[in-house]
């Protein structure tokens, strides 16, 4: 009957979230009943999409939710044995009781546990499906991805390179920009805080962009529309520059009309659209990781107390690659 520390949403963020929006609460966890199991989380994920859910959907004074990987520490469920590793949607807490629904076993022998919250998990599948299915990427095209050093963006760029594309990425620091080119193999990269996006797109892809993988919105979307080629595609994965817009919604692109004469398609999606691609995705991705074609970084904060700080850091770009919180050791 462990005591579980968990993070509650204390109040709804106004603009950029602050530590006061969150509260650490201790809860007594009961023993698992018939058919139930007890999971101890090892890693939890913080993701930009959570900001949207905090606007209305998720209740205040209630534990938050999100992707996590844990280990089974007690089980009365024949499908799960003590020691199994399970992917779950009950992050932001140390322990939970489950009847097994919504848990997926993961194989720690083909990829590290933390990767199942990144390249092998939701962000990886988001990148894979958004680029190949929604974006209808063809070999050899020109691709621009914003927030390119993030968990999704870095996978987008590397898949595009595997598909023999010209790849441009943007990030928010010169170190990250260097990493995009030197480590992830991007053809061109720029710092969106100091460089003009349109100038950089023209530099990196003089003939124009076929696919813009949209993570950010704002001026980068405008530049992409202007520099888009005929029949270009813009899979809209996120618009992090707008996530903290409460009350004062920032305007959309002034040049959506570019879409008309260039037959551009903008299409929103979330990862649930690609659940039927999951098996092929895991096969492709584990192969790319093992062959060295897919690299990834993680920024890991230690201790569930750090979860709010990790989440808030997403909006200032304090992460390099996937932002995670380590909740316990895998032992």
Interface with its own copies (CB under 8 A) = 52, 217, 236-239, 242, 245, 249-270, 273
Quote the tokens at residue 66. Answer: 């999100």
The nearest distance, CB 131 to its own copies, in angstroms, is 15
Q: Is the dihedral of CA 72, 79, 286, 310 positive or negative?
A: negative
Which residue, 146 or 166, is less far from its own copies as judged by CB?
146
The nearest distance, CB 259 to its own copies, in angstroms, is 3
To which residue do tokens 């992917």 refer? 87
- Cβ(67)–Cβ(87) under 8 Å? yes
Which residue, 15 or 252, is less far from its own copies as judged by CB?
252
Beta bridge pairs of residue 45: 324
Which residue, 262 or 297, is less far from its own copies as judged by CB?
262
The nearest distance, CB 305 to its own copies, in angstroms, is 31
Quote the tokens at residue 106. Answer: 């993961």
Which residue, 97 or 133, is less far from its own copies as judged by CB?
133
- Cβ(275)–Cβ(118) under 8 Å? no
**How many Cα atoms are found within 13 Å in the side-chain-facing hemisphere of 40?**
16
Which residue, 251 or 292, is less far from its own copies as judged by CB?
251
The nearest distance, CB 264 to its own copies, in angstroms, is 5
The nearest distance, CB 302 to its own copies, in angstroms, is 32
Which residue, 162 or 259, is less far from its own copies as judged by CB?
259
95-98 vs 37-45, strand pairing mode: antiparallel
The nearest distance, CB 258 to its own copies, in angstroms, is 8
How far apart are the C-alpha atoms of 238 and 241, rounded to whole Å? 9
263 DSSP 8-state letter: T
- Cβ(36)–Cβ(99) under 8 Å? yes
Quote the tokens at residue 65. Answer: 């939710």
């Amino acid at each position: 009957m462990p005591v579980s520390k968990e993070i509650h949403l204390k109040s709804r963020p106004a603009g950029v979230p602050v530590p006061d929006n969150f509260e650490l609460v201790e809860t007594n966890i009961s023993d698992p009943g018939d058919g139930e199991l007890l999971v101890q989380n090892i890693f939890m994920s913080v993701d930009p999409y959570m900001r949207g859910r905090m606007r209305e959907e998720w209740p205040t004074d209630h534990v938050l939710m999100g992707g996590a990987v844990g280990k089974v520490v007690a089980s009365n469920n024949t499908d799960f044995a003590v020691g199994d590793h399970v992917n779950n949607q009950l992050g932001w807490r140390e322990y939970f009781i489950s009847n097994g629904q919504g848990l997926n076993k993961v194989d720690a022998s083909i990829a590290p546990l933390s990767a199942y919250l990144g390249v092998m998990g939701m962000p990886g599948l988001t990148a894979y499906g958004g680029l190949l299915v929604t974006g209808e990427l063809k070999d050899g095209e020109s691709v621009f991805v914003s927030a390119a050093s993030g968990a999704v963006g870095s996978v987008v760029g590397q898949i595009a390179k595997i598909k023999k594309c010209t790849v441009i990425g943007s990030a928010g620091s010169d170190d990250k920009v260097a990493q995009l080119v030197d480590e992830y193999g991007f053809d061109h990269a720029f710092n969106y805080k100091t460089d003009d996006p349109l100038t950089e797109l023209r530099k990196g892809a003089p003939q124009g962009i076929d696919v813009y993988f949209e993570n950010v919105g704002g001026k980068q979307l405008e530049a992409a529309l202007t520099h888009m080629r005929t029949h270009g595609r813009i899979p809209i994965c996120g618009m992090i520059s707008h996530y903290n817009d409460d009350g004062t919604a920032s305007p959309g692109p002034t040049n959506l009309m570019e879409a008309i004469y260039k037959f551009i398609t903008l299409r929103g999606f979330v990862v649930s659209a690609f659940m039927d691609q999951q098996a092929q995705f895991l096969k492709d991705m584990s192969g790319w990781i093992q062959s060295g074609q897919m690299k990834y970084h993680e920024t890991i904060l230690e201790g569930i107390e750090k979860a709010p700080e990790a989440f808030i850091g997403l909006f200032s770009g304090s992460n390099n690659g996937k932002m995670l919180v380590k909740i316990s050791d895998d032992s």
